[in-house]
Structure 1
């Protein structure tokens, strides 16, 4: 099943985040069996060229790439779509009109107002452009990120936007929009999240969450809320946590009072 088919069917999906520049990170993760790799261009130094290299690396393991583009950046949106990604996420959506405009950027006329210039998306001409302008370009998964209270208040209308495949909850920024930044699991924040979930599920659309958390308690809570698409963890945190564990192990051994062997002749 393709990523698009999983999204349409509201299948349970797992993803993880990539923030680092080196595409070998994505290659390694692509072999593990995730349903998708979330490439973040909003909060990182990743350029469009970097995104291209990560996409090529992900193909090694056959894992689709979903890219979160910078907020309200038409040019980068076009460039990311042209390299042939599996999905695109628009962050910091304010309301229905904002969401509708962003989705229109991804759709060719008469569906929307996407500019014409496919490259990697049509394998540089090996695929028929006319077919891509029709149904082909609709295969990209389109998501908006719910991380503003104002978007939640219009979630029912947003969920009805044609060719929008689902929403991704951004729980931290959502808490910030109610002036409780970091209080992710406050009752008020959870109430907003559940309202958005209900709106999108009523339209039979996928609901996801993006979190760097990896603990079972947190991820079970999101699953229990009816979220079918969970992107969790991040490349940098995997490195940090494993490195900290190794450091603790070595320090524990060295702290046991053992005297290192003397290397005779070493100067």
Structure 2
């Protein structure tokens, strides 16, 4: 779905500025938020990890962030980076930074709900790519996004009919979700992760499966080229050299 830019520019960044009263430095902070989450090798990072990075920089460069260490500790230790997990941690600690992080996350979800639906569309070629994959493959969504948002967006555009399972942020990290899927007996050389962020690539690497990158700004071309890659995967001719070239192109594109 073509959602990342509008969600970060209109929702994630502005809600952080509002929650931590950062209006004085808003322009610089919003530019940096977008750099972290859209235009660098941390593109697609989980919202709470992105928040921690941004708040750490804000704490050093602009103003102190109260109880930031508690957010850092939770982000680095929890098995589930989600609102539900954060609520449980707040019940144990009653920490102000965790409370503000939850308030921010909930405000983000509300802001996303208010985005005009006509602005949230599938990338050209993605629907065809998913449908093509589903002819010969099981298709799983493995996402760090909010489940309700994913279901709503994919259902509206009739993408869910070619999906066998949805695993969102509440199911665990992407690497963990792939690990659990592999327990159903899939051979690793028959599995490929399609994604547009380094986190997708790392989740694939962690599980020794293949990774196919969707290049930011070149999404239509990437989806069109997926057909050839799927052919090689299904026929057992997808090589390590092909994988290396795809990853090289992906990383160079983010620099």
TM-score > 0.5, shorter chain as reference = no
Larger proportion of strand: 1
TM-score (structure 1 length as normaliser): 0.23
Larger radius of gyration: 1
